Amino acid sequence: MASKTPPVLDLRALGRATLDRQLLLRRDPGDRMTAEAAVEHLIGLQAQNVTPPYHALAARLHGFRPQELSGLMESRTVARMVTMRSTLHTHSARDCLGLRPFVQPGGPERELRMFAKRLGGVDPDRLAAVGRELLEERPRPLGELRDALLGQWPDADPLALTTAVRCMLPLVQTTPRGLWGQSGQVTLTTAERWFGRPLAPAPEPETVVRRYLAAFGPASVKDMQTWSGLTRLRGAFERLRPELAAFRDDKGVELFDLPEGPRPDPDTPAPPRLLPEFDNLLLSHADRSRFVPPGFKDRTWKGNQARSVLLVDGRVAGIWRTGGRGGSGERKRERDAEAGGAGTLTVRSFVRLTSAQRTAVAAEAGRLLAIVAPGADHDVRFGEFTD
């Protein structure tokens, strides 16, 4: 008997499905998800800079206030940690202790291999032990850690030493770094010391596949490998095949999903959303065309820095930033956060917005400003993308 041909999901159907499970299709005030639950459901928030996790939750949650996430960080319910793709994320304590061992081969270990030759004759096991002792004695800034390691290995490459320790050990950035309206240098300790309990065993791949599909599906094997940085995940999908729904995209790529995963009507309205730089919505699929039109991919990056993006009708349609003309970069973002957020938000569109779209974008921008800069005069500006 011939097997049934899987249904085809076009870009619009895929986009609506992922937006729904990314909490970006609707904000339901009658069933509000907490910030803690959202961080867990989304399997972490990109956190290369201080403010993006706050902006990410502001885009997704009804009634969110930055103090909610900041309080979770202060109580050690969530923390900032290097995980997927060896990049910094804000994770729940459970994922800091359990997800890090799972993604270790696809991120930190891969980065460690890049620096291994630069370690020279330094024994990695000894280096990890010394690094752990130093960082569990008290949280230390990177410069202090570097100097202490050089005291043991004075002829070694300083960057290789600190990078190797960061890759080999599950380290968290301690507060006040990452708190809303505060500043602080990067200071590190181990996850075990910060949370007061040991790392959990790495979860089975099938468990993480289910979580990934719940947050990013429908998706291909290659999509999940892109998100996690891991390879050879095909076996986990095959073991789960009897309990997963199968589809194909309009290019013929096989997609998987949880049978109960939301797959809204493709014509479901998708309100404008303002996403921060490096938002995982745009980094967690091998094929990003469900959200990024072909001609706009290069416009969402400047060098190796991702820009904050505007979604209109579920697709990237521009970029945005807060603040006036007074510079850019992480330090400026931190100054804005320390001041409670800048009161000006500028949208630079890639497309000509209709009057209705412009009004909706302005309302969404005003909503974000009310969250991040409640005491400031708010000014939403529009311009065209020129570079």
Q: Once rounded to an integer, what is the mean pLDDT over residues 160-180?
A: 95
List b or e across 64-84, with b for residues whose CB sees 16 or more CB atoms inside 10 angstroms: bbbebbbbbbeeebbbbbbbb
pLDDT tens digits along 22-37: 999 998 766 689 999 9
Q: Give the range among 243-247, 312-316, 334-338 with minimum mean pLDDT.
A: 334-338
Question: What is each CA distance from 86 to 106, 170, 181, 230, 370, in whole angstroms?
Answer: 8, 11, 26, 11, 33
Residue 32 burial (CB < 10 Å; 0-12/13-18/19+)? middle
Instruction: Give me the pLDDT at residue 385, please.
Output: 80
Question: What is each CA distance from 27 to 116, 218, 385, in whole angstroms?
Answer: 47, 21, 29
CA angle 3, 221, 245 (to 5 degrees): 45
Q: Where are the alpha helices (DSSP H) in 218-329?
A: 221-228, 234-240
Cβ–Cβ < 8 Å for 337, 373: no
- pLDDT category at 327 given cuts 50, 70, 90 is very low
Its sign, for the CA torsion 117, 121, 122, 125, is: positive
Question: How far apart are alpha carbons 272 and 32 in whole angstroms?
Answer: 19
pLDDT tens digits along 274-284: 999 999 999 99
Phi-psi region of 9 (alpha: psi -120 to 50; beta: other; left: phi over 0): beta
Instruction: Give me the pLDDT at residue 30, please.
Output: 63
CB under 8 Å to 302, separation ≥6 — which residues?
A: none
pTM of this structure? 0.92
- pLDDT category at 222 given cuts 50, 70, 90 is very high
Question: How far apart are alpha carbons 171 and 191 in whole angstroms?
Answer: 5
pLDDT tens digits along 111-128: 888 888 888 889 999 999
